[in-house]
Chains A and B, each alone.
Chain A
Amino acid sequence: MEQELKPSASTNRYLRRWATLLGPFLGLALVIAVFAVLTGTPEKFLSPFNIRVVLSQTVIVAISAIGMTIIMIGGGIDLSVGSTIALTGVVTALGVNAGFDPIIALLAGILVGAVVGSVNGLTITGLRVVPFIATLGMLGVARGAAKWISGQEPVNTAPTWINNLVVTFPDPPWLMLAPGVWIALVLAIIATIVLRNTVFGRRVFAVGSNEAAARACGISTNRIRIAVYALAGAFFGLAGVMQMSRLRQGDPTVAAGAELDVIAAVVIGGGSLNGGQGTILGSMIGALIMAFLRNGCQQMGWPNFIQEIIIGTIIVAAVAVDQLRRKQL
């Protein structure tokens, strides 16, 4: 039996890797093309202005999807995203109102997100509650906490630079895109590198791919899982800050159902509910697909329920196409 690693093998490898991202890319191109045609004014739909709007609207889902991708690669799921966004948004708003420096308020939001995530991780590993249920519980708890500390009222804040994080026209103008878009982009790149090039990242993959095998390889799987949820929680916290920035207030009822958008973005991007699979780039494209869809529907003047039906259909279609592709490979 001879064995050699031919140079052509590595080109195959890249082809294969890109093939998994081809679907989401094509999907994005298709969505953009369809709405460019449907709206009848492609120059408007693809105008720098509209693209800025869409990108700003993507920030919250995109940042959350980074966290969710890490969780899903690790074999978990988090249904408490929306509630965590609301809670951390309220915390940030309260922080600003209490007279703290905005950066402190922002960090407080992120920290609370990380704490919520840690609690999820501890519930899952310590009490052996499956992630679906543990985070379903947190969905209620975090939402309740947000309402409690806000007195069930949106918390209005004095204007600070936090309010400018996701504006369509950034200040200074040379930024071109809202600061939040750049933050999301940088975080996506960092997360990609961490997942790909660090021992921690590869262990997350190992735990998600086969937890029993990871344990037998001496990996402390519980520690990894808690770290994953805490890290993702921090991302959700930052998303909460962005949400507060967008509304210019901490609204305890905001982002209900956001978990579905976030999970959909990851799944459309090639993430698997079975763990061990997924890419940040894919999830970002998934988030963009959803944002362009919503934006396109709005421009068409279609009612909200049409958007919901389309998005629901696309999630299922994306996964079905992915299954077909896997069968053929």
Chain B
Amino acid sequence: MSILELREITKNFGATAALAGVSLNVAKGEVHALIGENGAGKSTLMNVLSGAIRPDTGSILLKGRKYEPTNTLDARKNGITLIHQELMLAPHLSVAENILMGMEKTRFGWLDPRKLNELAGKVLVDFGHPDIQPSVPVGKLSVSAQQVVEICRAIAARSEVILMDEPTSSLPRRDVERLFEQIKKLKAAGISVVYISHFLEEIREIADSFTVLRDGVTVDSGKITDVTDAFLISKMVGRDVNDLFPQREALKDAQTVLSVQNMSAPPMLESASFELRRGEVFGIAGLMGSGRSSLIRALFGLEKADSGTVSIEGKPARLNAVPGNRITNGLGYVSEDRKIEGLGLTLSIADNITLTRYSACSKFGWLSRNKQDRQAADLIDDLTIKAPDTRQSVSQLSGGNQQKVTIARLIHQDAEILLLDEPTRGIDIGSKAQIYQTIAELAAKGKAILMVSSYLPELFGMCDKLAVMSRGRLSAPRPIAEWTPELVMQASIGAGTR
């Protein structure tokens, strides 16, 4: 019997359909995995369930009764609690205050701290954590203990369904195991868990059943033991992974355009050496925080490099330069976070595209808005950016289209050497395919591309050669044919490449 039942939920944000018909059945006391690519609608769905946003159409039944939460507190009172990817705790408040936040028992508005600690303490003890003191500020606890506090908050609210949005993405393996123990305890207590994760191994380990979302639609669901990983992936992606990547051929006898020797940029980057040729796509794999981004940022003049040599188009270049200087030398940069360092969200598409090279559409400091519009419209066409017109503000676009704008900017800039940090992070599959296509076209035109990515299929699908960053050291670049995903993983975690 299902405790939670969603039928044909839809939700539109402006012109984009985040959810276009999601159905979901969660049984009592099961762990239900919600799987899907970034942008498939998982987070939107979680927000609908937790009362943060209201669906446009569709119905939700909780224990057979209509469930229409007005806000997150209402959802909690109804027995559904969301645990966010980033923990939502007030670090300066005590464990007890955090656990009972929003549902404090008061007498005429007065809090009784002893009573508060007692109540929270009981929840902690029942959940098998007498070790966590209710009166301690949450900021003093370890991350895994903080997660216990989050879970206890859900239990204290007598939740019957707990939603977990990528709870393990920032956890070390040891804490992941602890979390799984907690989830098993929840299960034993008859509480259902909806579990979102990218990691299929994790899902196999903890989940009973699954639902796959793609482009805001439920595409499949069933028992996890009945299906293979390959089946799940094909459902998530909606096509064979290999079709995503365009056929490429490396240019022959191409000249080296960027040469980096023994570059260091403390504290993240210890040493990196590589050469990049025209027409080449060079991939850098590695874990987050391994120094990949530091390498690109230092190269582009956004972080300070300490030592090493850089030469661009055969000429020695300054080790430390400002971005403007690098742009003059033909370098272009796409940040791993388009919202923080990529786009002026309130600005128009046209402004964002032409930002690095206004000279192409201005004379003596005077902008020709016609020219700017035309240049932007051409790139909007080339990259199939979905937008009503060139003056639309970028904030109104979907993530995938925003990312295409950052790539369009490099093309407008006419950069010869493209430094791409996670160029397809968090975007839909269609936009990914478009960006891969564009990268391939640029490479065929003789541009040199350096691409940092956490997504191995994309590195293997796009790159001519690859190196792995591990703890600030870049391995020797090798042709892609000499790598396997296992070798890359080994090198990433520093388990001896040789």
Contacts and interface: CB of A to CB of B under 8 A. Distances in A.
Contacts of A215: 302, 323
Interface string B327-360: 1100001010000111111110001000110110
A216 interface: yes
B384 A202 contact: no
Contacts of A5: 377, 380, 389-390
Contact of A214 (B325, B355, B377): B355
B365 A216 contact: no
The contact size tier of chain B is: 35 or more
A276 interface: yes
A10 B377 CA distance: 12
Query: What is the predominant secondary structure among interface residues of chain A facing chain B?
Result: helix
Contacts of A156: none
A263 B110 CA distance: 41
Given A1-B430, A214-B344, A197 B355 contact: no
The contact size tier of chain A is: 35 or more
Contact of A276 (B342, B344, B389, B409): B344
A199 B357 CA distance: 10
A205 B367 contact: no
Interface string A166-197: 00000000000000000000000000000011
Contacts of A227: none
A107 B466 CA distance: 62
Nearest to A206: B344
B381 interface: yes
B17 to A, nearest CB: 15
A278 to B, nearest CB: 10
Interface string B170-203: 0000000000000000000000000000000000
A3 B401 CA distance: 12
Contacts of A1: 384, 386, 430
A329 B257 CA distance: 46
A3 B300 CA distance: 33
B351 A9 contact: no
B385 interface: yes
A64 B148 CA distance: 55
A197 B369 contact: yes
B293 to A, nearest CB: 12
Most buried by B among A1, A202, A206, A220: A202
A270 to B, nearest CB: 12
A214 B352 CA distance: 10
Nearest to A274: B346
Contacts of B497: none
A201 B347 CA distance: 12
Contact of A200 (B302, B347, B365): B365
B108 interface: no
B484 to A, nearest CB: 34
Contacts of B322: 218, 220
B389 A9 contact: yes
A13 B367 CA distance: 19
B381 A205 contact: no
B326 interface: yes
5 smallest A-B Cβ distances: which pairs? Answer: A209-B344, A218-B324, A276-B346, A9-B389, A218-B327
Interface of A: 1, 3, 5-6, 9-10, 12-13, 17, 196-203, 205-206, 209-210, 212-220, 272, 275-277, 329
10 contacts: A1-B384, A6-B388, A210-B341, A215-B302, A218-B327, A219-B324, A220-B322, A276-B345, A276-B347, A329-B14
Given A216-B323, A216-B333, 13 more contacts: A3-B384, A13-B388, A197-B366, A197-B367, A198-B366, A199-B365, A209-B344, A212-B340, A213-B341, A215-B323, A217-B327, A219-B355, A275-B346
